[in-house]
Structure 1
Amino acid sequence: MRKSTVNPLEQNEGAIRKPTPRSPALVVVILFACGIALDRFFSSRFDFWRWELLVFLELLLLIGWLILQRFQSQLALILLCGVISICGSIWHHWFWELIPPNHIRNFAGEEATPVRLEAIVVSEPTWKENQLPEFASAWPGSDRTIFPIQSEQLHLHDRTISVSGRIRLTVSGPLNGVQTGDRILVIGKMRNLQPNRNPGTYDFAEALRRDSVLTTLFCEHAEGVQVLKKADIHIVSWFHRCLDTVRIRIREVFQQTLPSESAAMANALILGDRTQLDDEVNTAFRRSGLMHLLSISGLHVALIGALAGWLACLLGGTSRSFNQFTLAGMTLAWILAEFRPPVFRAWLLGLMLFWSWTSFRKIRTVQALGLAGWICLIVNPSWLFDVGTQLSFLAIVAILGCWKWMPSLFRNQIETKLLTSESTSDSPSSIQRGFRHAIHFLKQTAIISLAITLFLLPILTAHFHLVSLAGIPATVLALPLLAIALPGLILTATIGFFSPAIASLIATPTHYILMLMSGLAELFSRGPLQWLPAGINFWIVACFCLLAGLLVFLPKQTGIPLKAGISTSWCLLLVIGLSPFPSSIFHQSLECRVLSVGHGNACLMRCPNGRIILFDAGSMENGRFASSAITASLSDLGCNRIDAIVISHTDTDHLNAIPFLMDEIPIHTIFLNPVGLNPRHPGLAAIVEKAGEHHINLRYLQPEDEIRLDKKVRISTRQCGSSPLSHLTSDNEHSIVMEVEYADRHLLFPADVSGDGQERLFEETSPGYDFLVAPHHGSIKDNTLDFSKWAGAENIVFSTGDENGQGYLTELYSPQQVLWTTAGAVRCRIDAQGHCTVEQWHRNQYWGIPLEN
């Protein structure tokens, strides 16, 4: 018998403990991000949070860390974490809050003022078509040219001042002959960007501020822009000029070789420019959960890089050339997308991974992700609050967690099939192998799409007020189409530089693929897999974040029962927090919100039992904006449907948001005023058409009718006509006047009632109103001393975009509280005991005590 020998080195190999891999970059970026978030919260609410305090805290913590690192290592580590966090606060405060004295923002106000300004063009002008339907605005819309400029000199009537800071310039109509780097003179109206005036809506001012734009300038005609000097030729201006030329040429190629809808999709996929997309296409991709395919991001960068690497393989290149071609493709995608944050993140991550492969120095993916995140926050700390950046990074985290927790799903099944095929005499044919790989790819895509969708749902809900599970099957079907469409578009753009006729041969099949993607988006946008979320509780979000962290950071060796328990708890929290069932039934109070929609009315009221009624919904400026404000507030109230809408009369600023709402939110009944119905009114015609499409009830209100939504709340018509009138020039006089009574409190919504309509109101005794939306948006003509005495209101809200006449109206209703929606939305809350509180949405984005107007 042969005696085996054992090498002592091999015997002790298993006893050697491998060092635990660390990811310090991930910890640093988390601490740095916490400091940024801390500064954003405190600087907007407390005056003591200043630059000097942050520097003092940083020095104090740094000195403490230097002293304690030799004696108390654990305490020194805590101080080091504080140093990193405060460093993030200092960097964000310097970027976000500190504005130099000569900044253009200091010479502009909330109201538009005429100016003459010299500036440098920062990037190429973008053409934006007006896509609002006729009923959406009381004023005719126009196409616009938009681009950023760097302010240089402000010409006042008596002197010229050197200024700094970026401005967003909007010119009505086309503007030709202006290029990047040109020095221009602009004559227009300038104003500072205003903060969000409604909770939950898209904050346009904050989005532009992330690009260091605090002011806007509007020019009514192209003649108001004069080129003083063409751009000087140097390396930077030459690069920007070449980039603009390439982007313009790519647009021209797409316009020449593709139909308009496909050309707009091509611009979005290759250049990241979605300005030409039709609103219906945008809505379909958003509701179907496919917007991430249409918005250029890390996915597109990875696909373009993979295509470049595949080209290197076809040319017979080595692994080094494969890496170089892939990185070059990713860099090209980043440059063409104008250095957008999600693309920048993907490029950084790819750069680090390729560096580790080419230098043979192993770097963990989590470490590379942390480094990429930290560099992004150094470049622009406000990117932390950008939804695109958030979704981009969290999607990568979800993919890493998916691969980490389910490795067998991505490896063992394929290995088993290969072993089975090798053990049999009949090896699979190339068709069978291709079919198996296709099935495997679709399965991976489905699982990864599910993981990403579930992981990103809270952020998608908070920003877009939509839960769309349709994105999971839609992505599985659309992703292969995107993988085919991208190389087709790249080839079309490349060949089209030299011969658009030859490029059209490739563009034609690519067009059908894009149309198939659009058809999938349209198909999945209509169905039961998307709904308006009914809000989400803070504690549910906190528990979700904890479980998500466990999913990502627990080791691979975690047992299957614990994995299943965490995953199940995660899904249960999502179901509870984002269910289609309203959470407002747990709020036993009545809440009414008068939203800030410019010159218009949008009064949203939630009954104690959670049911919703909307008194008018329109805006003189933009009905789509009013619709988004209503949708955001509806979700914020914990509701996801509207039980009743009352249209007081057929004026544009009282109804033009309703057609948009009908496409987004389940609505049960719309109550109409029988007086003054005009079937030729564009807004009313759109309402009637969409009511038929969505099976929404249309009913006439009659005098003394009651709308029964809650047995504790009395909603009645204080005044209403009974039949149409002939030769009616204005139906303001016959506006429906609605009254609400709850817990011995009274609210009045008189719409635009005026003249004889008010006289009819005076014939009955007023109970004295606790909350009143002033008639006709605060018109001096319709807010008289007689009406003020009759109403006897304690709180009066003026739903107007015009602050003229504030002095008269304040004196008229004195000493009662007078509020204007120009300062922010107003809400009135009444509990079961009849306690009434009135708050206003502050410019720092929270509800609080109304400020002095």
Structure 2
Amino acid sequence: MLLLCLSISFVTGIALSAGKPAAVPLVIGLLVIGGVATLVLRRRSLFLLLLLCAATLLVADLRYERALPPDGASMVAFYNGMDEVDLQVEVVEEPVRKSRYYELVVGSLRLLDEGESRPLEGKALVRTHDPRDYRYGDLVVIHGRLEAPAIVDGFDYPRYLARRGIYSVLFCPQMEPTGRTSAGTIMSTLNDVRTHLSDALARSLHEPQASLAQALLLGERTSLPRETSAAFARAGAAHLLAVSGLHLGIVVLVVVAAALAMMGRRRYLYVWLALGLLWAYAALTGLRPPVVRAAIMASMFLLAELAGRQKHAPTALMLAAAIMVAVNPQALWDVSFQLSILAMGGLVVFYRPLHDGFDSLLDKAPRLLAAGRLVPSAARDIAAGTIAATIAVWPVGAATFGIVSLVGLPVSLLVLPVLPFALGTSAAVATAALISPILAAPLAWLAWLVLTYVLRVVGLFSGPSWAAIDTDIGMTALCAYYVLLTCAAMYFMLPHVRPRRQRGGAVVEMSLGGRMLRLAVLPLVVTVGLVGAALSAAPDGALHVVFLDVGQGDAALVTSPTGRTVLVDGGPDAVRMCSLLGRYMPFYERHIDLVVSTQPHADHIAGLVATAERMNVSMVAASAACHESLLYERWQQAVSREGLVVTHPVCGQSIDLGDGVALDFLGPRATGYSGSADDIDNNGLVVRISYGSVSFLFMADVRADVERDMVRRGLPLESTVLKVGHHGSSTSSCPQFVAAVSPELAVISAGANNEYGHPLLSVLQTLESQKVRYVTTANCGTVECVTDGKSLWIVCERRSSVDEEWQHN
């Protein structure tokens, strides 16, 4: 009781010092007055308790004051808004890859000034387009302008960053890596292991399953598509995407349940095993502060069990929270810290009542629920634990993400019981892939099935417009909820509420056949799921040409009637590109027969870098044009590192894709183009793919002068479908060329609301004047063309002026 009160007093003191400093003396005064009153009433024990709580509040106030950052030239914030500076920094967190830029948190700052080096306190956030592969522990020299973080749409971004120790922001500075400072250290080694495991998942699974596995298992969300993150938020499941107390609590429950089933309670081996695996998993995720805090919470829970004092677990958890807040007072406002405490608190208080409730249901209605006994008792343990944790954490998640999900409960009931299987299969895939890709393949199929189930459930419930409402949960509502939850917790912790249950009533005896059926259910479900998915993804004897909606860029996936694949360009966004490949390629397929890189600009090759690193590519056909950029340099390094065969085809060369599908190169000409309006664009690869009487012409970013040259040379340009050049820019698609191609349909790949205004009205008027129907990925999304060599079917992701299904004979 004493430790619990003192722990609560310390945490309360930190909160009051930060939020309302003037309230601290008032509260201390009230406690002292109350103590004097109890002394008069001869309640000495209560007097001492109140006095100690008052002293603890004072200590908390002093600790918070000492934790505030100092002012002056020793702080990085002192240089915000001044001239550009040179800094030597260390990357202190794993870089985060956004859609078009990277975020790096840097620390160990040293100001470089006229040959001198001065240390600066605090950290800085760097946003850069530099595509080089920065990692934790890298040393970098930066030249740029420090800026103070700004409030964004009413959100107090400066305060949010300050709680992480970040006081400055640099936008697109000049950066030059100089080495690594943490090489050989434990943290560097752990980070390398995590990087290898993350890469293994990326190489074994398609997106978005791979990025979901990385988020669930390793806490890495950098590759998660934006639409997937948004769907989890709307479905009330966003907390699943960050390793927190919920994940570690599930790990503890699974290990304890399995160990008890195998070894019983002998010498508390199940506790020691759970502790060991708990901290091994925490180390696997990089021992990030949120994970360490969650691991400490879980350890307190286990140690309370080891000491035979499980009823004092709330005291142990509050003591751990007070210690961690004392070490870093800013941790109190860290959402992951709050989720860790709440999740473990929910497990301590509500797990047993829920577990007993499940068993009671089975005892009271044995005939109706006999089928429930096909579910192992460990699964009921997991369900009780995950629901108990969710009851405690969902309001904080809703307040953090600004969304209240109306479907959070059914999503939790459907997703949380399979979360251990998602974690387990993902871990198995990552480990096996480090040994052999062949060994990892069947495990990857199992992981894909479980992860796809999670994604489908989240997607199904997040789809309706009423699934979530935007809200701003105030402090009053949060406090009211947790007051009620505290009352419920106190009720369930009363001794008379949880008597020792006598197992009685009717018992359903299972026959040998029933036990065999119980063991066969899971393998049967897995087999049916995988076979069904494989059959639906099998080649259908038609040629599929999919113009992928990659934004302001080009990318198309071609699949032959028997399943051979060609990828033409990769778009400007690697995350989006990988997600689209995962949607349109079979889950078991990790091979691309040919990658065509029409030209070296970022809007064509950014996604190809990730493709080369993740997929097995047989050959690359690339434009001979070079481009001086860091991204093109990284593309060349990826090709070299993976040992890919590269050719530079010219007009007149062709590749037989089999099944009657021919790929012909119509550009550039053998002598190339020089001195033109844009030599890189004009020396791009022009590709024509034909199957029977249906053909597709890909024009890359080739300009009008080269288009007219191709017409003069009499090249076989006539095609059924034209992929319009240069995203519908006025520099391409001249009337003579469009007339020579005479397409039935034109596809324009451009981003919605792009800064260039593509496609331009003049290009659309040219198409309309020649009665060419057109679709744009900006309006229609991904456009899929399917042909048997005679007929052509068009399916748009979103409805457009072209019918959702259009047939050409």
Opposite residue 336 of structure 2, the aligned amino acid is: G
- TM score, norm. by length of structure 1: 0.52
Q: Write the mapping of 1:163-182 to structure 2, written as runs, cut at 5 A.
A: 163-176=120-133, 180-181=136-137
Opposite residue 373 of structure 1, the aligned amino acid is: A
Opposite residue 126 of structure 2, the aligned amino acid is: L
Q: Write the mapping of 1:625-640 to structure 2, written as runs, cut at 5 A.
A: none
Distance 1:281 1:62, change over 3 A: same
Q: Is the 8 A contact 1:405 1:556 kept in 2?
A: no
Opposite residue 98 of structure 1, the aligned amino acid is: P
Residue 687 of structure 1: CA displacement?
9.0
Q: Write the mapping of 1:414-453 to structure 2, written as runs, cut at 5 A.
A: 414-415=362-363, 433-435=373-375, 437=377, 444=384, 449=387
> Does structure 1 residue 546 correspond to structure 2 residue 483?
yes
Tell me, in whole angstroms, the C-alpha distance in 1 between the residues paired with 2:466 and 2:29: 53
Opposite residue 181 of structure 2, the aligned amino acid is: A
Distance 1:57 1:162, change over 3 A: farther
Specify which of 274, 290, 294 is matched with residue 221 of structure 2: 274
Residue 69 of structure 1: CA displacement?
8.2
2:655 alignment partner in structure 1:
none
Tell me, in whole angstroms, the C-alpha distance in 2 between the residues paired with 1:103 and 1:83: 33
The sequence identity of aligned pairs, in percent, is 23
Q: Write the mapping of 1:295-314 to structure 2, written as runs, cut at 5 A.
A: 295-306=242-253, 308=255
Residue 325 of structure 1: CA displacement?
2.3
1:93 alignment partner in structure 2:
65
Residue 120 of structure 1: CA displacement?
3.4
Residue 349 of structure 1: CA displacement?
2.7
2:411 alignment partner in structure 1:
474
Q: Deviation digits for residues 634-666 of structure 1, max 9, x if unmatched?
A: xxxxxxxxxxxxxxxxxxxxxxxxx99xxxxxx
Specify which of 143, 151, 156 is matched with residue 187 of structure 1: 143
1:122 alignment partner in structure 2:
92
Specify which of 3, 7, 10 is matched with residue 32 of structure 1: 10
Opposite residue 526 of structure 1, the aligned amino acid is: G
Q: Is the 8 A contact 1:127 1:174 kept in 2?
A: no
Distance 1:521 1:319, change over 3 A: farther
Distance 1:313 1:105, change over 3 A: same
1:525 alignment partner in structure 2:
462
Residue 264 of structure 1: CA displacement?
0.9
- SS in structure 2 at match of 1:497: helix
Q: Is the 8 A contact 1:320 1:358 kept in 2?
A: yes
Specify which of 330, 341, 359 is matched with residue 382 of structure 1: 330
Unpaired runs of at least 5, structure 1 = 1-21, 131-141, 422-427, 561-658, 661-675, 696-853
Residue 520 of structure 1: CA displacement?
0.9
Opposite residue 217 of structure 1, the aligned amino acid is: L
Tell me, in whole angstroms, the C-alpha distance in 2 between the residues paired with 1:403 and 1:31: 27
2:205 alignment partner in structure 1:
258
Distance 1:239 1:482, change over 3 A: same
1:486 alignment partner in structure 2:
423
Q: Deviation digits for residues 325-372 of structure 1, max 9, x if unmatched?
A: 221221122122333455334322332233344455555221222122
Distance 1:409 1:495, change over 3 A: same
Q: Is the 8 A contact 2:349 2:492 kept in 1?
A: no
Q: Write the mapping of 1:455-474 to structure 2, written as runs, cut at 5 A.
A: 456=393, 458-474=395-411
Q: Is the 8 A contact 2:252 2:298 kept in 1?
A: no
Count residues with an aligned counterpart: 513
Distance 1:335 1:529, change over 3 A: farther
Opposite residue 104 of structure 1, the aligned amino acid is: M
Specify which of 315, 340, 346 is matched with residue 392 of structure 1: 340
Tell me, in whole angstroms, the C-alpha distance in 2 between the residues paired with 1:86 and 1:679: 72
1:709 alignment partner in structure 2:
none
Residue 402 of structure 1: CA displacement?
3.5
- SS in structure 1 at match of 2:145: strand
Opposite residue 42 of structure 1, the aligned amino acid is: K
Tell me, in whole angstroms, the C-alpha distance in 2 between the residues paired with 1:175 and 1:120: 15
Q: Write the mapping of 1:2-401 to structure 2, written as runs, cut at 5 A.
A: 22=1, 24-42=2-20, 73=44, 74-95=46-67, 97-99=68-70, 101-109=72-80, 111=81, 113-123=83-93, 125-130=94-99, 142-144=100-102, 146-152=104-110, 154-156=111-113, 160-176=117-133, 180-181=136-137, 183-194=139-150, 196=151, 198-199=153-154, 201=155, 203-221=156-174, 224-227=175-178, 230-231=180-181, 238-306=185-253, 308=255, 320-360=268-308, 364-401=312-349
Residue 278 of structure 1: CA displacement?
0.2
Residue 150 of structure 1: CA displacement?
1.2
Distance 1:32 1:534, change over 3 A: same
- SS in structure 1 at match of 2:84: strand
Opposite residue 118 of structure 2, the aligned amino acid is: I
Unpaired runs of at least 5, structure 2 = 498-751, 754-759, 765-775, 783-795, 800-809
Distance 1:343 1:693, change over 3 A: same
Distance 1:525 1:378, change over 3 A: same
Q: Deviation digits for residues 732-763 of structure 1, max 9, x if unmatched?
A: xxxxxxxxxxxxxxxxxxxxxxxxxxxxxxxx
Tell me, in whole angstroms, the C-alpha distance in 2 between the residues paired with 1:313 and 1:536: 41
Opposite residue 476 of structure 1, the aligned amino acid is: L
- SS in structure 2 at match of 1:364: helix
Tell me, in whole angstroms, the C-alpha distance in 2 between the residues paired with 1:679 and 1:65: 83
Distance 1:183 1:246, change over 3 A: same
Q: Write the mapping of 1:537-686 to structure 2, written as runs, cut at 5 A.
A: 543-554=480-491
- SS in structure 2 at match of 1:225: strand
Q: Is the 8 A contact 1:401 1:551 kept in 2?
A: no
Q: Is the 8 A contact 2:127 2:172 kept in 1?
A: yes
Q: Is the 8 A contact 1:120 1:150 kept in 2?
A: yes
- TM score, norm. by length of structure 2: 0.55
Residue 464 of structure 1: CA displacement?
2.2
Tell me, in whole angstroms, the C-alpha distance in 1 between the residues paired with 2:390 and 2:256: 29
Distance 1:322 1:171, change over 3 A: same
- SS in structure 2 at match of 1:186: strand
Tell me, in whole angstroms, the C-alpha distance in 2 between the residues paired with 1:487 and 1:243: 20
- SS in structure 1 at match of 2:20: helix
Tell me, in whole angstroms, the C-alpha distance in 1 between the residues paired with 2:431 and 2:452: 21
Q: Is the 8 A contact 1:308 1:328 kept in 2?
A: no
Residue 433 of structure 1: CA displacement?
3.3
Residue 510 of structure 1: CA displacement?
0.6
Tell me, in whole angstroms, the C-alpha distance in 2 between the residues paired with 1:356 and 1:454: 22
- SS in structure 1 at match of 2:108: strand
Q: Is the 8 A contact 2:7 2:319 kept in 1?
A: yes
Tell me, in whole angstroms, the C-alpha distance in 2 between the residues paired with 1:398 and 1:361: 17
- SS in structure 2 at match of 1:190: coil
Tell me, in whole angstroms, the C-alpha distance in 2 between the residues paired with 1:694 and 1:410: 45
Q: Is the 8 A contact 1:453 1:471 kept in 2?
A: no
Distance 1:255 1:68, change over 3 A: same
Q: Deviation digits for residues 230-250 of structure 1, max 9, x if unmatched?
A: 4376xxx52022112101111
Distance 1:314 1:494, change over 3 A: farther
Residue 461 of structure 1: CA displacement?
4.1
Distance 1:405 1:515, change over 3 A: closer
Residue 504 of structure 1: CA displacement?
2.2
1:799 alignment partner in structure 2:
none
- Higher mean alpha-carbon deviation, 359-368 vs 239-248, is at 359-368
- Higher mean alpha-carbon deviation, 531-540 vs 474-483, is at 531-540
Greater relative contact order (Cα 8 A, min sep 6): structure 1 or 2? 1
Residue 160 of structure 1: CA displacement?
4.7
Tell me, in whole angstroms, the C-alpha distance in 2 between the residues paired with 1:232 and 1:543: 46
